[in-house]
Amino acid sequence: MENEELLQQVKQKAKSWLTDAYDEETKAQVQALLDNPDPTELIECFYKDLEFGTGGLRGIMGVGSNRMNVYTVGAATQGLSNYLKQEFADLDQIKVVIGHDCRNNSRKFAEISADIFSANGIKVYLFESLRPTPEMSYAIRKLGCQSGIILTASHNPKEYNGYKAYWDDGAQMVAPHDKNTIAEVNKIRNAADIKFNGNKALIEIIGEDIDKQYIKDLTALSLSKEIIGRHHDMKIVYTPIHGTGVKLIPATLKAFGFTNIIHVPEQDVVSGDFPTVVSPNPEEPAALALAVAKAKEVDAELVLASDPDADRVGAAVKNDAGEWVLLNGNQTALMFVYYLITRWKQLGKIQGNEYIVKTIVTTETIKTIAERNGVELYDVYTGFKWIAHVMKENEGKKNYIGGGEESYGFLCEDFVRDKDAVSACAMLAEIAAWAKDQGIGLYRLLQNIYVEYGFSKEKGISVVKKGKSGAEEIVAMMKHFRENPLKEIAGSKVSYYCDYATLKGYDYITGETVTLDMPTTSNVLQYFTEDGTKVSIRPSGTEPKIKFYCEVHSKVDSIDELDAADKAATEKIEQIKASLGI
C-alpha cells in the first residue's frame, strides 16, 4: 500500500512537468518515464527534490525533481534570487559571480543561471569559461558581491553535476542563509515561477583580469622564495584530470618560481566525459595512474593532481626505495600544518593570536602539532563551509595560518573561503623544495613528522547505498549505531562518545555528560578509545554513502620503527571494521 501511494504521488508530480512551462524535449522524456511499465526510474527521478547538503545541490543529470537539469537549477537560482532581494533590499545593485567546471551541461547551467539572476535585476559576473571553484570564491570578495554560484559536482562520476551557493564572505552558505534559501527554492513549484528571460545588460563576462589578480595574491603566500630559487628546476608532474586546473595551476606554479612543470597531455584535454579515468577523484589511485607513469618516465620528484573543479589536491611522492606512493588527505594536511607553523615561527610571524582549523574527522595529529607549538586549533564539522565560518568569526581578531580536511582539501590563504587546489599545489611544491634544501624528500619529511609528533594511520571506508532504498538503509544504520552506542572497539574500551545530532558527549571514565560547543547539530557519531583510536560515522551529504573514519595512533622513537607501526595499525583497522560490522 505504501509503495502504491508513493507511485501515485510520483506520477502526479511527473505530470506537472507536462505543462507548457517545460520544453518539448523534457516533456517527451517525462512522458516516456510515465509510459514505462517499470516505474523504478520514474520514482528515482521524482520521489524527492534535490536538497542542499554539505556540498550544495548535487545529483545525476536528467529529467525530474531529483535530477540536475535546467529546471532544478532554475528553481535554485530563482529561489536564491528571491532571498538575495529580501536580504539586500537596501542595496542599489545586488551582484553575484557565476563559475563552472568542465562537466557536461555546466556551461549551459551557468548561462541559464546568469539569465535568471539578471531577469531578477541582479548584476552577474559570469566567467568566460571554466574556472576553479576557489577562484569563484575569490571573485565574490574581490568584486564586492553578495553571492556566487559554481556549477560543479566536484570529484563525482561523469553522470553527476552540482550547484554550490556562496554568500558575501566568499564561503558556502551556512545557517540561516542555507535554510532560508532552501525555503525560497521550495516555494518554486513550477517552471512558470522561474524568470528565464535574461537581461543581457546586467551580465558582464570576466576572466583574465581576475586570473592575474588571483595568481598575484597567491604568490604572496610563499614563505621560501629563496629556497624555490635554488630548486626551481625540480621536476613536477601535474594533471588536472580533464578539469579546471589545466590553466591556472601550471601558471601559479610558474609564478611561484617553478620552471619544470611536466604535463600529462591525455589529461590536459578538458572533458566532462573524463575519458582516461573511471572517476575523476584524486583520492582514487587510478585517477593518478597516468601522472605516476609520466613521473617514472621523466624521473620526477613530485606528482600533483587536482579534481575537476580544482578545489581538492592529490599528490604522489617517492619512498625510500624509490617507489611512488600516494599521499592521502590526512598526510598532506599534516605536512601543510607542520610546514606553515614551522616557517611562520622561523620568520617571526607567530604573534600569539594565530590559529588553524581542521574538521572533526581529520587526524588528531594536527591537534598535537598545534598544541606543542602554541597555536590555537578549531575543530569543525565536515564541509569546508565550517572552516570558512571560523575564519569569518575571527576576521580582524586572529591570524589564520591554514585549515584543511581529510578529504584532500586545504586552504593556505584567508582571501579565499573554500578549499583551494591552486594554492595547495603551489604550496606542496614549495614544501618539496624546502625538504630538498634539507637533503630529504616529502616522504622522509612525513616520516620525521611521525617520529616527532606520533604515528597515526587513518582509513576512510564508504559503504555505498544507492537510490531511495539505499537512503532508507543509511537512516536505519545511523539509528542502530545511535541506539546501541559502542562500549568497546577492537579490544579497547570507549572512553568518550559524542553524538553531534544531540550535541551531547559522554565521558565513560568520569561518568559525566557534556554539552558539545558547536554552531548547530550534525548527523555524526564519534568514539574515542583508551588506546587513542578515533572512529567517526556519518552519512555523506553529497553522495549515496555512509562513511566510517578510522584513526589509530602509536608512539615511535625512530624512523626504523615506522614499518612495524604501520603494519600494526593496518591490523588494528581491520579489527575496527569487524567491531563495526562493515
**pLDDT, tens only, 393-403:** 999 999 999 99
> How do 545-554 and 534-539 pair as beta strands?
antiparallel
What pLDDT, on a 0 to 100 scale, did the predictor assign at position 66?
94
* Mean pLDDT, the chain, integer: 95
The catalytic residue positions are 154
| Cα 92 to Cα 374: distance, rounded to the nearest angstrom | 46
What residues contact residue 40 under an 8 Å CB cut-off, 6+ apart?
A: none
* pLDDT value at residue 370: 98
Of the pLDDT bands very low, low, confident and very high (cuts 50, 70, 90), residue 547 is very high
Among 47-56, 167-176, 501-510, 569-578, name the one with the lowest average pLDDT. Answer: 47-56
Measured CA distances, 286 to 280, 289, 421, 422 (Å): 9, 5, 19, 21
For the chain, percent of residues with pLDDT exceeding 70? 99
- For the chain, what is the radius of gyration of the CA atoms? 24
Top CATH class, 455-580: alpha beta
Give me the helix-helix angle, 208-219 and 245-256, nearest 10°: 40
CA distance 54 to 77: 18
- Helices 562-580 and 442-453 pack at an angle, to 10 degrees, of 70
Q: Provide the residue ranges of all domains of the chain, joining segments of one domain with +.
A: 1-46, 48-206, 226-453, 455-580
- Residue 210, phi-psi category: left (phi > 0), alpha (psi -120 to 50), beta (remainder): alpha
pLDDT exceeds 60 at position 224? yes
Cα 403–Cα 382–Cα 215 angle in degrees, nearest 5: 40
- Cell numbers for 474, please give them: 543509511
Query: pLDDT, tens digit, for every residue of 327-346?
Result: 999 999 999 999 999 999 99
How confident is the model at residue 49, as a pLDDT?
85
Residue 1, pLDDT score: 37
Phi, psi of 86 (to 5 degrees): -75, -50
Instruction: Let me know if the fold of 48-206 is the same as that of 226-453.
Output: yes
- Per-residue confidence (pLDDT) for residue 57, from 0 to 100: 85
pTM, two decimals, is 0.95
Distance of alpha carbon 298 from the chain centroid = 31
- pLDDT at residue 351 is higher than 60: yes
| CATH level 3 topology of 226-453 | Alpha-D-Glucose-1,6-Bisphosphate; Chain A, domain 3 (3.40.120)
DSSP-assigned beta bridge partners for residue 545: 464
Task: Please determine, for residue 304, whether its predicted confidence score (pLDDT) is greater than 60.
Answer: yes
What is the CB-side half-sphere exposure of residue 430 using CA atoms within 13 A?
Answer: 26
pLDDT band at 42 (very low <50, low <70, confident <90, very high): very high
Cα–Cα separations (whole angstroms), residue 359 to 84, 254, 403, 406, 501: 29, 31, 9, 8, 16
Is pLDDT above 50 for 300? Answer: yes
SS3 232: coil
Alpha-carbon span 390 to 399, nearest angstrom? 11
> Which set of grid coordinates corresponds to residue 287?
585517477
* Helix, coil or strand: residue 82: helix
Q: Give 534 or 182, the one with higher predicted confidence.
A: 534
Query: With contact defined as beta carbons under 8 Å apart, do 488 and 496 qualify?
Result: no
Q: Which of 313, 274, 245, 331 is nearest to 156 (CA)?
A: 274
Cα gap 349→339, rounded to integer Å: 13
Is the per-residue pLDDT at 55 higher than 60? Answer: no
Q: What pLDDT digit, counting tens, does each position of 135-184 carry?
A: 999 999 999 999 999 999 988 899 999 999 999 999 999 889 988 988 89
Q: How many residues appear in the chain?
A: 582
Nearest to 41 by CA among 50, 49, 30, 55: 30
pLDDT, tens digit, 9 for 90 and up, residues 237-259: 999 999 999 999 999 999 999 99
Q: What is the mean pLDDT of residues 509-527?
A: 95
- CATH code of 48-206, in short, is 3.40.120.10
